Amino acid sequence: MQKFLEMNSNFLEIKNVVKQYAGHRALDGVSLTVPEQTIYGLLGPNGAGKTTLIRIINQITAPDSGEILLNGAKMTFADVAKIGYLPEERGLYKKMKIGEQALYLARLKGMSKRDALNQLHFWFQKFEIESWWNKKVEELSKGMAQKVQFITTIIHKPKLLIFDEPFSGFDPINAALLKNEILELRDSGATVIFSTHNMASVEELCENISLINNSKVVLQGNVEEIRAVHSTNKFAVCTSSELVENQFIILNKNILKNGCFDYTISKNPQMSNNELLGKLLQQTQIISFAEQLPNMNDIFIKTVS
């Protein structure tokens, strides 16, 4: 994965962005770099400044200082045509027919009527909602409305996609469907900014992340490297016979149905993983050996707290 990232150029660069509102600094010197054709996690608790940054990228508001670069050039309002933005708060007109509204939004993105209709029929069929074309938005469930808005976000094939809590309102099956579509969009050339509170989705989809708290970036980097840095030096080990502590500590032991021994052990941070494995092999046959890295949810809570 790291080798893949090094091959990608910096597609979007946020440099020392500051945004001040009356009595509140929403962003305080925020900088981050999004490599091309990756999924980048923009994380943080409510009120941290994520939405303000997304609004600045979309040219909805301007920073007080700092700059936004797209492909090495300063972003302008014309670049908005290259962006697809799915906000957390949905914005469909409830009284309009679904197909009519989707066509209207596609035309606003600069598509011809013919191209828009072709693409919309393709996506409506793919998402199995073609029978809803002439129904009104107010007749849709939250998940169905989410599908429609997702389609209108990606319909013009933007180079930069920004998804803010895209799985809200979805059952597990449709959430998995949407995750696969996001991965396919990345593989087809799109760069994705993914904002969510669901850390499991971050681990599943994101290569890199920035965590914003109290208007500042407090954690940034490659997801797997961040997890490794926050290692608690705990390991899950399955052996053919019992272990005796030898420069490691046994935290938990279970005897499995097949007669094997399942352990959770910890080691001194100064001891390498290979050294630990060597100590274990001196005693018994190792069936499995895996470091228990903390998940992003634990790291999020620890960092923000």
Per-residue pLDDT at 144: 85
Number of domains in the chain: 2
Q: Tell me, yes or no, whether 268 and 196 share the same domain.
A: no
Exposure b/e, 99-133, CB count within 10 A at least 16 = b: bebbbebbeebebeeeebeebbeebbeebebeebe
| pLDDT in the model for residue 145 | 86
49/155 same-domain check: yes
pLDDT score for 140: 85
Encoded tokens for 192: 């994705």
- Considering the domain architecture, whether residues 241 and 135 belong to the same structural domain is answered as no
Strand partners, 219: 211
Asked if residue 192 lies in contact with residue 113, where contact means CB atoms within 8 angstroms, the answer is: no
* 57 contact partners, CB below 8 Å, separation of at least 6: 12, 14, 68, 75, 83, 162, 193
Domain shared by 187 and 287, yes or no: no
Query: Do residue 259 and residue 127 come from a single domain?
Result: no
Considering 227, 244, 264, which residue would you say is the last residue of a domain?
227
Same domain for 236 and 223, yes or no, is no
Q: What angle do CA 199, 201, 203 make, to 5 degrees?
A: 70
Answer yes or no: do 265 and 298 share one domain. yes
CATH number, domain of 145, equals: 3.40.50.300
| Together in a domain, 214 and 240 | no
Alpha carbon of 105 to those of 93, 100, 114, 132, 146: distances in Å?
11, 9, 14, 17, 15
pLDDT of residue 7: 47
pLDDT in tens, 172-192: 998 999 999 999 999 999 999
State residue 91's pLDDT score: 76
**For residue 9, what pLDDT is reported?**
79
pLDDT in single tens digits along all 305 residues of the chain:
444 444 457 899 999 999 999 889 999 999 999 999 999 999 999 989 999 999 999 999 999 999 999 999 999 999 999 999 998 877 788 889 999 999 999 999 999 999 999 999 999 999 999 999 999 988 988 888 889 999 999 999 999 999 999 988 788 998 999 999 999 999 999 999 999 999 999 999 999 999 999 999 999 999 999 999 999 999 999 999 999 999 999 999 999 888 899 999 999 999 999 999 999 999 999 999 999 999 999 999 999 98
Sheet strands side by side (includes 234-239): 248-255, 261-267, 234-239, 286-291
Domain end call among 212, 227, 242: 227
Tell me, yes or no, whether 31 and 105 share the same domain. Answer: yes
Domain range for 267: 232-304
Task: Write down which residue in 196, 227, 258 finishes a domain.
Answer: 227
Whether residues 18 and 102 fall in one domain: yes
**Which pLDDT score, from 0 to 100, does residue 6 have?**
45
pTM of this prediction exceeds 0.85: yes
Per-residue model confidence (pLDDT) at position 8: 55
